[in-house]
Amino acid sequence: MKIAVYCLCAFALLVLITPHAEAQCLNLCITSFAVSPATIYGDQSEYAIATVHVYSVNPSQGGMVGIQITEVSFGSTDTICVGGQGYGVGCSYPYHQGDNTFIFQFNGYNYGSSTQNGTIKVSFDVVMAQPINVNPVVP
């Protein structure tokens, strides 16, 4: 009986010290997404920088991961995949086991009369979103 109690205590301790974020990721996961600055000028010359963090669990894994990028309610004419390659709906990046940081840049296009209050989304295993405001070009 004592052995069962000791085993149960050891198992409980193991569960408590296991990192929860990594435990929830079964293979390859987006863990965070940020955009800076949150407001850009709509003349197509100013870019916002987006940072995507991806975690890979499997030590034998490596290769390319495609991050889908979706622009909602704002205009953009250019996306630059820093360290990666553009493909039809986003950027593809080489990855390795552990934490990976991917960066892309996008510009704003707004020749209207009011600020576009939009959202930029990234998706792979989950969808994450950040707000972006594109100010109009003043004639």
- Non-local CB neighbours of 84 within 8 Å, separated by 6+ positions: 91, 92, 93, 94, 102, 104
Q: How far is CA 131 from CA 36, 70, 71, in A?
A: 10, 12, 10
Percent of the chain with pLDDT over 70: 83
The pLDDT of residue 137 = 95
How far is residue 99's CA from residue 28's CA, in Å, rounded to a whole number? 10
Asked if pLDDT for residue 123 goes beyond 70, the answer is: yes
What does the chain come to in residues?
139
- Lookup result for tokens 């991917």: 102
How far is residue 121's CA from residue 73's CA, in Å, rounded to a whole number? 11
The pLDDT of residue 21 = 43
The pLDDT of residue 19 = 42
Q: What is the pLDDT of residues 62-96, one digit of tens each?
A: 789 999 999 999 999 999 999 999 999 999 999 99
Q: What is the pLDDT of residues 7-40, one digit of tens each?
A: 344 444 333 333 444 447 888 999 999 999 999 9
The pLDDT of residue 10 = 41
> What does CATH list as the number for 24-135?
2.60.40.10
Contact 68, 79 (CB under 8 A): no
Q: Torsion angle of alpha carbons 123, 34, 41, 132, nearest 10°?
A: 60
For the chain, which residues make up each domain, given as ranges?
A: 24-135
Which tokens belong to 134?
């594109």
Q: Region 97-107: what's the mean pLDDT? A: 96
How far is residue 76's CA from residue 14's CA, in Å, rounded to a whole number? 48
Of residues 99, 102, 64, the one with CA closest to residue 82: 102
The pLDDT of residue 3 = 52
Mean pLDDT of the chain: 86
